[in-house]
A and B are shown apart, each in its own frame.
Chain A
Amino acid sequence: MIALSGVRKRYDALEALKGVDLEVEPGELLGLIGPNGAGKTSLLRIVATLSKPDEGRVRVLGCDPNVVPGKIRRRLGYMPAEFGRLPDMTVHEYLSYFAAAVGVPRRERLRRIEDVLELVDLVERRDTLVSAGSTGIKQRILIAKTLVHDPELLVLDEPAAGLDPRARVEVREVLKELNGLGKTIVVSSHILADLEEICDAIAILEAGELVARGPVAELKARLRAGRPRCSWRVVLRAEGSPSPLEVLAEVPGLGDLVALDDGMRFTTAERDANAALAALLAAGHVVLSFREEEPRLEEVFLRETEGLVT
């Protein structure tokens, strides 16, 4: 669906992309993460045919953007990070504008607009002014605009930027639904928790270089394999004596011991976990669950990146 090979992009002295290789399979939902200035927007604009790479090969939807950019644009939905202002337009008129621009036949326009409004849950706001909406509403309008011609590939630049938690959840649900419909989606975001939940794969950019790329589970497994200590979570009913905190404090090799409302959290090497469990049971506490905590995407990100800025 997307194939980038050795893509470089320079803005004067600033090298925004330094030979990025990236492939996105059909139907994949790829999350693009990276610190500010990592080159995410440059990469997305190249994919969206709005910028040309200085070096390297790009193929989007099987076509070369240098040769047939118009053909790609008609099959691609691009959502920029900023909401372009249009004067005095209602939501329906705004969508109609872009539906006409992408060449949706007049007789189909109304149905398409109703469909996407329903998808992003904006049916009730169809006749309100675009400019009157909150940031969350505007983001959803932008998503609706991106979908109005039923594109095969969606390129979304920071769709959750500036949204409150509820709106973020809504956008996340919309993306999940779209991915379920078979759309290929490339989405960049700073909110890693959102991407962690919905993305099939993650690509991490730093200082113009692709430092990691793969399924979320694989990246986490890589992180887990690479670190000497794991984080453990125990849910228990404290019925014995001494207290769980005192019991675990006596177990050698445990660290970062934290008492929680329903249990404990600590870190230890994998081989010492059994000793901790045995100590709790021996003290008479009822252990309801004992499991290793998965590393979060933030941890993966922090491990893979070094805070470099181009």
Chain B
Amino acid sequence: MSPACAVAGRAPGGARRLLARVVAAAQWAFDSPSAEHDARTILSSPKVGLWLGVEQLALLGGTAGGVAFLSELGHVDAFRGSDSGLLGTELEFLSLALFLTCIVPLRSSGLIEGPRWRGYFDQVVTTGISPLRYFAGKWATSQIFFLTLLAASLPLVLLSGLLFGASWPRVAVSYFLLYAYCNLLLLTSSGLAVAFHEVVALILCWFGFGFSFFLGLVPAPGTLSLLSPARYLVRPLAEAATGPGTVDHAFYASLRPFGLDLPWELFALAAWGVLGAVAVGACALGPLHAPSPGLNNFGALVLRGDRKRLFFRRHRPLLLRRVELSFLFENAGPGLRRWQLPLRALLQVALVGLFACLFLGACFDLTSIEQTGREVVLAFHGVACSLVVLATWAVFAPSRLQALCSFRLGRLRVPAGAFDAAGVLCVLALVVVLHTVGFSAGRDALVGTTSWWERLGPEEACLRATSNLGVFCAFALWGLLVLQSLGARWRARWQVLGATVLLAGALAIVPALLEEAVREAATGDAPLDALLASPLLVFAEASPLVQTQVDAVGVPGLELDTWLVRKGFWFWQGLFLWLLGPEVFFLHRSLAREAAWLRGERSPSPSDPACASCGGRRWVPAGRTSWSGVLFSVLFGVRRCVDCGAFGARGRGRVERRWRVALGAANFALGLGLLGALFVYVAVRA
């Protein structure tokens, strides 16, 4: 009889089968070789001593620092008698949470004990081990690690509680939350390490959970800090310190995401569950690219056409691990591979939906907050929209490697680019609903309505919100087009992510900061001011930050509402789409063709000319439009050799340098002409 059956045999009735399954799953996880390996690296006595020593120092330091900070603010006096025990235990738990936020991603993202660094990953891959079993082993061993860390904090918590008094049920709930939080950190960092390089994953993890931890401490809507237990731990301290009736107290005391009166812990565990499930999905499905023939993991990582590139762009160390990982994910079961398209879609929608709910849900928690607090929350709404767009881009903007990937849907092959585009539309639809409801609710709350759902009719505010949202979505779409265009050229996802951040900064945040100055210039007496300011104002008004501000649009005098923002903005949108749309289309068509070559689904035709450099006959169309729209892509279209990356003429395409220079000059002239026309138009109207 197996141990699983033996344990299950002692259980009564219907629980027997379930228990047997749980025991069998635990056995399966602990039987993973990575469990054995991790146990050896984590639980060796010197390392355990080191971890526990650092933990004790962090707890003592954190608690002392917290007391000193509160003392500095003059809040320590609020904790007397049994409340002093509360202060001690909560500060220790807060220190422990911060310690775990730093340590768990550091360990679990593989930064310290990454198998790649030890040079045996190929051997692991050739064993045929499934990725889920590999990660299950890491998860199983980490449970021992977490329990050790939590148990090591017990003496300090017990000492503090026994000497000064504590609410023991609360201590138990806190430990449970911290244990769940450890698992959330572990799963998220592992999932991120699958999608990104370990260092990037670690930074993202620290930034994300650190930001949530910070928001949990400061007076901000509680929904925002749902990804960290900080708000739960700090709430009794903050309530005691701030006293009732203040805005800060209202922020700490109230947590009603979407207006629902439910415990914060339930919302937190639900959000953690969604994020954890997405991370498990990432660990099971792997990065969104298949090991195509052009993806090499032998020696220096090079791809076709690299010799045509500059020296510093040839080396892409950050790609190496992802390529190796994709070979590991070939070991996933056939069922998982067959269902990966809907599963990936579900995970992506769940992830972006989660962020949308976290940020936009904060806007519903308004009724119990004073006027000032409401304005803070509503102002934050614009930031939330920007962050949702950022998250959407981060999830859906593909790198070149990703664009080469495709899914099989029956007999149909779905390119990852099309999959991404469909995903964006779904997410934007979700954001549209949440944004409309949230904005309407925010405005209603400002004018004193008690519940948001009572005012969802076709009110002026709701119409305004929906109208602004059209601008917002257009902004999101063309931003995505830019990233799709860049992603088709760039091979590393971190480059696309970097561009995402830059784009968000340049087109969402900077114009918003400039908006006041631009508005003043646009409404100034001097015609020149208006002339210079108008195109900038279009960008400023296009920023989601501005769009979602209360009464941001509508300056008397220039009637910006009626023609500049509406027509001017849509003019720019149309221009961008005309320029970017064909670029994205041609680039992705080229990538699809290249992927077909690499998968061996096409064979060279004798009519194809031989490449002058390598003699190959495998060509892909290369628009080389440089964001110049349909016209120039036809006139200047060239093709690129798949084997060596050399360019050749296609149709009327011109490959000579002078033609490229002419194309650039034509683009520049076109841009100048359009700007000039707009200036003239604005001047005439002004």
Contacts and interface: CB of A to CB of B under 8 A. Distances in A.
Contact of A12 (B119, B125, B303, B330): B303
Given A12-B304, A103-B128, A69 B331 contact: yes
A54 B123 CA distance: 23
A98 B124 CA distance: 8
A100 to B, nearest CB: 4
B294 A54 contact: yes
Contacts of A53: 293
Given A12-B304, A82-B119, A85-B119, A97 B126 contact: no
Interface centre among A12, A69, A87 (most CB of B within 10 A): A12
A179 to B, nearest CB: 21
A2 B137 CA distance: 34
A86 to B, nearest CB: 6
A82 B121 CA distance: 11
Contact of B126 (A50, A66, A82, A93): A50
A159 to B, nearest CB: 14
Contacts, number: 114
A2 to B, nearest CB: 15
A149 B123 CA distance: 13
A96 B32 CA distance: 11
Nearest to B291: A52
A42 interface: yes
Contact of A101 (B44, B127, B305): B127
A164 B52 CA distance: 46
Contacts of B298: 11, 41-42, 45, 50-51
B675 interface: no
Contact of A97 (B36, B119, B295, B327): B36
Interface in B269-325: 291-300, 302-307, 314
Interface in A87-139: 87-89, 93, 96-98, 100-103, 106
Interface residues of A, number: 43
B86 interface: no
Nearest to A53: B293
Contacts of A88: 40, 44
Given A70-B128, A73-B331, A84 B123 contact: yes
Nearest to B119: A84
A154 to B, nearest CB: 12
A188 interface: no
Interface in A182-228: none
A103 B192 CA distance: 27
A80 B125 CA distance: 12
A48 interface: yes
B126 A48 contact: yes
A86 B129 contact: no
A54 B307 CA distance: 17
B598 interface: yes
A76 B31 CA distance: 22
A66 B36 CA distance: 31
Interface core residue of A48, A83, A84, A101 (most chain B CB under 10 Å): A101
A220 B327 CA distance: 40
Contact of A78 (B123, B299, B314): B123
Contacts of B123: 78, 80, 84, 98, 145
B122 A50 contact: yes
A12 B31 contact: no
Interface in A1-58: 10-13, 41-42, 45, 48-55
B597 to A, nearest CB: 9
Contacts of B307: 12-13
Interface in B89-119: 113, 118-119
Contacts of A296: none
Contacts of B113: 87
A98 B127 contact: yes
A291 interface: no
Contacts of B306: 12
B31 A106 contact: yes
B452 to A, nearest CB: 52
Contact of B295 (A52, A76, A103): A52
A89 B127 CA distance: 18
Interface in B1-43: 31-33, 36-37, 40-41
Contact of B643 (A10, A49, A82, A85): A10
Contact of A73 (B36, B41, B128): B128
Given A52-B291, A89-B40, A96-B36, A70 B331 contact: yes
A97 B121 contact: no
A300 B416 CA distance: 51
A74 interface: yes
B600 interface: yes
Given A10-B643, A50-B297, A73 B292 contact: no
Given A10-B643, A45-B298, A80 B293 contact: no
Contacts of B600: 55
A73 B121 contact: no
B44 A54 contact: no
Given A11-B296, A12-B307, A54-B598, A85 B128 contact: no
Sort A-B residue pairs by CB-CB distance and give the 9 closest, nearest first: A84-B120, A73-B128, A101-B127, A12-B302, A100-B33, A74-B128, A52-B293, A13-B307, A101-B33
Given A66-B599, A87-B41, 9 more contacts: A13-B644, A50-B125, A73-B128, A84-B120, A86-B118, A88-B40, A100-B31, A103-B128, A106-B31
Interface of B: 31-33, 36-37, 40-41, 44, 113, 118-130, 291-300, 302-307, 314, 327, 330-332, 598-600, 643-644
12 contacts: A12-B305, A12-B314, A48-B126, A50-B327, A69-B330, A69-B331, A80-B123, A82-B119, A100-B31, A100-B32, A101-B127, A101-B129
